[in-house]
Amino acid sequence: MSEEIIGTWETDPEDVKSQQVYGKVYMEFKTTGELIYTIQLKGKVQKMFMTYEIKGNRLVTNQTSAQQKEETEYKILYDGKLELEFGGVKSKYIKVKS
């Protein structure tokens, strides 16, 4: 597991497009392989409880209620931001808690 991803990330305030598409997102990556994915959009809050693993430059997630694996390309940028690319769309996140 990649230690650099552990912690809580939120949508980069400068990434306006991602906020329009996904809403305000918080991702809490735990050392146990658990991921809590929280979306705030149009006054609603939705939480998804997932598991994750790192395979090379790919983040593999599995939503426990849907049992469907998704793979997302990820990288930590030079400025410390997390960039995810899913379905041809890139989104950026800043770490708010280690």
Percent of the chain's residues with pLDDT above 90: 72
pLDDT at 3 > cutoff 90: no
Residue 93 CA, chain-centre distance (Å), reads 8
Higher pLDDT, 20 or 11: 11
Q: Say how far apart CA 62 and CA 46 lie, in whole Å.
A: 16
Interval 46-93: pLDDT, tens? 999 999 999 999 999 998 777 788 999 999 999 999 999 988 889 999
Domain boundaries, the chain: 3-93
Single pTM value for the model: 0.90
**Residues 35, 40, 41, 42: what is their CA dihedral angle, to the nearest 10 degrees?**
160
Amino acid identity of 60?
V
Q: Into which CATH architecture does domain 3-93 fall? A: Beta Barrel (2.40)
